[in-house]
Structures are given as structure tokens and as C-alpha cells.
Structure 1
């Protein structure tokens, strides 16, 4: 290739490389920067002028809002309402009311407002009064009546001349306070002084200016006064002013002019600013050109000074960068060369140590996670096996057999029944905890367990209401009812020093699942604690929530939480426990189990 010919020296190769790789991209970048800078300058000019136009529009809207506000009392004034109801024949009343309006009401509006040239009031009956000339107001009535009533009760009309003074006419509709129908109009003649003052405060360079066009396309304000009141909306201009606001560039001979416009929603006026792009960008273009030349000079010097040395470093750094990218993608077997003795060699050795340390830490984290998962599994298994591992089954079986034999010999039937029941309990409880069982087996087991408890608590009433035909169709986990019943004795009765009086177990099919209820008449918990328990049960988290651990009680050891988690692990969501009721009258816990029968319609609820 051109840069790597054997006849060329290294210096020539570097020179050509720098010329091609750095200068050509710099030239392209400089051109793009120039274009983007020009666009940015124009965009900044547009933003700046749009803000100015928006400010002027806001000031004009505020000005006309103030005029609307100060004239509003006239619309409802009793004198005005009386004037509107006069007929042409009531000349004397007309004279009196007109005089009061002229002497009292009109001065209250025009006082301190030199911009208000005059006021006129004209009723629908053709009666007029004015601070300027009643004939003028009456003559303007027909001109503005239909426009105001056909649109809205407030309208800014165009410019007209009174005594060679250009004034702006504002028309407002009077409404009868009884019928709410139009009864006349109020005409306010406003000098252009305030509008001129607002517009002339803005300076757009030496040749830029702002002008205003009303909703009918007539000029309201222009630096050239001979254009006031004349039509300015040509078809070409109308085609460009298609939106509420916007901008476009218009050629004016050798120059380009930036036109920015914004239409006021309140007045319907369109404010238009015109400014020369060349004049607007003059200082910024000069600064841009100086910046480009200075930048080129600095870059050139930097290329000369650092070109050779940077090239020396580039190869090693690029190699290290490639290795780092591979390490980022997960390949921690990469190894940078360590043969150099300079800073680059030290950097490579540091990179190798870092990658090795990251690999070691990742391995430790993975090992730690595996140990944590294994520990969690063991803890869950030990929770169930804790009760089983406390006794020696064979020793207990033999002992219970001996007790049963003595009881039969001595004809003590209660002891014989208890020994037999206890043997059945031990035999069921030491079975494989992972083996699937049916609800029928669980109910038989808990029935035996409660028979022993009834021997202990003579007043205990046990009620088990189930349908034997449904129980084999309900999937269950081993020893899931006993912990709940033990909670009844411990937390419902004994914790409050009450004797166990009632334990009820019932089942029903609901929405295609089997609902098993365990109910007692002991002391329950407060509603806040019940809601926290239900929230913990409903959460799909296999760790016991801290708020339930602090309370203790029902979520201790292999209590409710263990039973709920075992059901959830075996059958998944939404199977598990739910505290349906818990108050001073007792507690009811519902256990949702999987019902495999297909003959029952989903959605039906059958008590069984």
C-alpha cells in the first residue's frame, strides 16, 4: 500500500498517514461545522425573534385585556341598561340619561387614560350617545353590529381617522340583564400611541422592524405610516402564513430576510418581524471565522508536536483497548503482553491483574450464591423435618404397642384409643414430606389428632364438615393442617388464658378450586396485624417478610408461613393461605387447594 512501501522512510510514512487520516477528516469536519454553525446562528436568531414577538403579543394582549376590563362595568350599569331600553319617542328621558352617561360614566373610564380617544354607546333602537360625537357612534353602529353579534361580544376593528387622527375601534355588545339578548354596542376609540410605544421598544438591528396585521389582513402598525389601514394580505403572503406561528426566509435582492410571525388568539392580530440575515449574523459570522482559523492553527501545531509520539503509543493502546472490549464482553481469559518496561508495560500488567481479580471475584460470588441457594433449600426442608427428627419412630411404635397391650388387658379403652391414635399420628408424620397426598389423608390425620386433644380438653367442640367424595380429588401436602390447628391452641386460646372451646374445619368448591376453612372461637388479632399478614402471604417472596418476623406469633418456625410456602411451592400461585377473619370473636383461615375434578362448573360455589 501507499503508506507502507519499503522504499519510504518511517518519517515519510507517518507524514502521509497524518496527512491522510487527520487532515482529510479535519477538512470534512470543518466543512460540516461551518454548515452546522450557520444553521445554529439562524436557529438562534429565529428563537430570539420568536421570543420578542411573543413578548410583544403578550403585552398587546394585556393591553386589550385591560381595556376590556375597565369597560366591563359599563355593560351592566343601570344607567346604560335604561338607555338601551329607550325608544326614539322618549326624547326627554334620552336627554337626561345621555347627559348622566356623558358627565359621569364616560369620564370614569377615560380619566387617566390618554390612549382612549372617545366612547360611543348605540342601542338597537338607533339611539346613540358619545363622548366625541353621537353621529359618529350612530354611523359606526351598522358597520360593527353584525360583525360583533355574528362572532362574539368583543371585537377589535380596523383603523379609522377622526380629525386626521388614526384611532382603533373596539366594539363590545351590550346584553339585556333580563332577556340576555343583545341590546346595543359600546364603541371605544383608542389612539395608537400605546401600540406604537410597545412596538418601538424592540430594535432589530439597523434595518429590522416589526409590523402588525389584523384579522382582515389590514395593517394596524408599520414603521411606514402610509401603510396604516391598508390591505397587506396578498395571496402570496397568505400562503406563507398558514400556521398560528412560524418563520420563513425571503429573498430581497442580494440579501435574505428572516420573516417571523405569530398570531394572537385573543386579538386575531398577526405580528410580523423582518430582519436581514446578513445584518443579524454579521458579528457571529466574524467570530465564527476567527474561531475556525484559530482552531486550524492550534490543531496544526498540535498535530506536528504530538503526531509522532501519539502514533508510537497508538498501537499498544489500541491493542489494550481491544483486550478491554473482549473483557467487557465476558472473556476474562485475555492477557496483555508484559514484555515492555515502560508505562505501557505497567499499564498492561495492571490490566492483567485487574482481569484476574475480576475473574476471582466473579467465581467467589457464584460460589457464594450457590451456597446461599443450597442453604435456603436445606432450611426449608429442615423446617418440616424438625418435628419428625425429634423422636425415634421405632422406639415410639414399640412403646405405644406395649401401652396399648396393657390398656387392653386392664380394659382401659380410653388409653387404648389414645395409644392407637398416637401411633397413627407418628406413622403419618414420619412419612416422606415430599410425597403427594390427598386431602382425605390429611383430614383423617387431623381428625385423629383432634380426638387426642379432646381427651385433654373435655369441653372442646370439634366440627369437621366435609364431603368424602370430594376429598380424594383435592391435592394436598403432608402435615399442612396440624400447624394451623396448633396455632389455634397456642395463639387463639392459651395466649389469652382461655380454655379451647371450638375448632371447626369445613370445605367447599369455589371457582374450580377447593377452599378449606379452619375456624376457632378464640381471641383474634387486630385488623392492622391481619392486613400485614395477608400482604406477606400474597407477596410472591419466599423469604419471610421482616415485619412479620418482628411480630412473631403466627409466622414462627413451621407455622403459617411454612405451610403457605409449601403449598405455593407445590402448586404455585394462587394456592396458599388467606386470613379471612380475625377479631375478638375468633379467627378463620382459608386454604386454597388444587381441585382436579372436571365435572364442576367454574365459578359456582358449593358448600360440602
Structure 2
């Protein structure tokens, strides 16, 4: 082969050398560009898929959480409990009529408030209840159903979910997802069961808009049963993948082989009931747009190769002794020295070649400069995207501030109703006035920053409402110095902490509880620090749980379903003031708990 090459004409050698050089440089560039583009598309999809799946999980967690909270509110409502208790302990005609009216009314309100609910049903040893909206299937025997048998076979969990099925309780053909909740009432030893049936079609409707992003979406329960999803998927293989990923991250991604295709898989778990949500995208579909790019690369390689060979073949006829000098210059270029030039004093073919050579080197230098500029532009775009994400996060936090706890509003309106019926109109004025102040300051005409005076007025309104609700079980004191009342703070940072003190502290103790709000001042270098403290003498926090809570607050975690309000307050303080500020807890189990807000005293403004 070497001898054959050496015997070729010099002109043919040049043609072969430059032809091969053009071919391989173009091929390597084309293949590298294709691989980079395909990898970039996959990575962008994974990031977007995680974001879309987080939205789905947040939506379903919120909807299922609302259903759980509202059902809990119904089961603990005084009127509901008294009516059911009277019926169970003394099932005469009067108590039966009262219980049927009260329970059906509560069940009807529960279903009207949430369109994801299909129907509801309560089973007791003395009788069954529904809201009289649907026709009952009188052949249905709760004690013979899988719902009751699951509690008999395995005790422990009060709330249990079952796979989709045809409605057994009512006479229709709708597909429903049953959720059974075991509960009890004071003074009755038997077990009671609340069955909430979710609409499969409504759940599918919530996911309908996401099929444009994913090719397939699948929801599995903790036992591997399909709740919602594409037909024919191997759920056992997906569950095996989930076990391998268990404990790594909240949202996980990977590859899945199905039907001869490779799918990019994204998965997350609902915190409400442990459902596993899967989003699948075919790699072939995702990279299908690159087929045209492959064709363009091959065509370009062919054109460049042919043009290069033809040009070299023509110029090779005019080669002179100057070609060796040019060859030396080209060797320098091959080593990366783009500052070299070939100067030829005449205007013949070699001079033209020298001029072309010099122009080519200049173009390469220009392309290198442009490449560096492109890299800088990509860095700026990356920084801009990060800033957009930060602003988006701020907007989401602002939207969270505008939300009103429907469970609290529900209890407050019930308190107004009870006081009107039992004590007359005197306390209605207090409740209405306090509730009006609560909402007025919550809205604050869209402002995110208010004075400490307004924040204290807001929490005072909240505590006045709760004190009327709990009567003599709740007292409070607010001891904040006058000099701090005009300080500017982020709104809605004290109310979630007082709510936390009531529901996790005062309610868990016997007798009257006390909540005290006061301030402490300290310095960090040249900057004044104000500490707002919400103290209660409630049940306290166990030491191990306290340690986990403070560590999560220090890291700025926000994706916990338990205690979401306090994590939201902490994250807002860290976002506005920096990671050196935020929320921490101190507590002694069974004695007291102290929530400490740390924020700077400075002149600042936030739109």
C-alpha cells in the first residue's frame, strides 16, 4: 500500500490527502454535533418532565388533601358527632330521623364542595347512611365486601384505598376509586366506616392536558394496582424500578424498555396515599425531529468533500516549488498555530492559493472568536433562565400567601352559627369583626410587606376567633414593645405559627393553654436583629422530632406535607432576607414550645 501511494503522481497525492482530511473533519464535526444535540434534547426533556410531574403531584396531593381535611372536619363536627352518637346509643325513631337528616346534609355538603367526589356512604352496626342523591344498591352488604374484610384481615391503617372498580354501593355503572375511612364517636364502642368514592373520569380529566407532553401516563397504588393509565404497560417492571430508586430523590428519572421501544421515564409518589405516578416519553418520538438533521449532515459532508476534491485537483496542476513552503505553513496550522500566513509575491495560481490559504486561516480565527462569543451568550442565557426560575418561585410564594385555609374558614363559620344559636348575637359581632380584620390584613391590597403593628393586629384577630371557638381553653398575651410596631415585615408570618401552637400544642393538653407573642433584640455585626417569638405551654415536641424539624428548616426544605405552613414561612424569610434568617424551634416535651422568627431591622422595600 505504501509503495502504491509513493508511486502516485504528486497531484493525486494532494487530492487523496486533502480529500480524506475534508471527509473526516466534516464527518467528526457532523457526528459530534448530532450527538450533542440529541443529548441536549434528552436532558432538556428530563428537566421539563420533572417540572410537569411535580405539578401533577402537587395538584393531586392538594385535591386529595382537601378531601381528607374536609372529611375529618365532618367526622369531628360537634353536630355530626352528637347526632350519630345519639342514634347509635339510643336508636329510637326520633334519633333515627335526626341522624338521617344530619348525616345526609353533611355528606351532601362534602360532595358539593369537591367535584372529584362521586358519592359517599357511612356504615354503622345499627344502620347505613347516604345523602339520598343516588339510588342505593340494596344487594350490597358492607360486611361481605372487600372493604370490611381488609380491616378484619389487617388492622392498623384507618384510611385505605382500593383499585378502580364499578360502583357496588349505588345503582349506576360509573367507574370509581373507593377510599374507606374507619372512625369512631364518643360513647360508642363499635367501629364506623366512611366510604368516599372518587370519579375515575374526573381524575383522568385532571391528567388529560399532560398527554401532550408524555406519551403515556400511569398511576399505580402501593400494591401495584393500576389506578389510571395507559393500557398494556408492564406495571411489575415499573414497580421493580421504583424499588431500586427508593429513597434517592423525590422525583426520579430513568429508561424503560417496552414494546421494542426505549422510554424516558419520570416518576414521583403522592404523599397523601402513596400512589406512584409515571410519565413515559418514547426516545424515538423525542428524537424524531433529528432525522432531517442527519440527512443535512450527510448531504453537507458529501458536498464539501466533492468541492474540496475538485478544487484541489484543479490547483494541483499549478503547483511549484512554493508548494513545499505552503506545506510547512499548513503543518503549523495543523498544530493549532492560526497566526501563520503564506506570503507569495506573484498573482499566478500559487499566489491565488496563498491568498485562499490566508483567507481560510482568517475565517478559522473568526469562527473561533464567534464560538467563544457563542459560549458567553449561552452562559448569559443560562443565568437569565436561573433568574426567571427565581422570579417564578417568588410568584408562587406570593400566590401561596393569597390562599385562605378553607378548613379554618369552615370552622369559623360553624363557630358563628353555634354562637348565634346558643348565646345570642353578642359574640357574633366579635367574630365577624375579627374575621373581617383577618381577611383585610391577609389581602393588604396586594402588598407583600406590612408593618409589625398590622401583622400583630392580624394575628390578634385570629386568636380572638380561636378563643371564642375554644372558650376557656385558650388565653394569649402579646408583649411587643412600641418601638418595633412600625418595623416592616413580610405579612402572614405569625398566624401560621399560632395556628401550629393551637393544633399541635394547646389542643393536646388538658385545661387552659396560653400563647404568648413577644420580641427579643440582638445584634449580628453592625446589623440589628429582631427575634419574634411565639411561645405556648402546650404538649411540646419530642426531642428527636424537634431535631429533624430544625434541620429541615435550616436546609430550607418546602416539600413536606406535614407542617406545610411553617416551612412556607421559613422559606419566604430565607428568600427575602437571605439564608442567615428564618425560623427555628425550641421545646421541652410536655411543657412548652417556642417558635423563633429571626429577621433583620433595616430600611428596605419589596414590591
Query: TM-score interval w.r.t. the shorter chain?
Result: 0.3 to 0.5
Query: With structure 2 as the length reference, what TM-score do the two structures score?
Result: 0.42
**RCO comparison, higher one (Cα < 8 Å, 6+):** 2
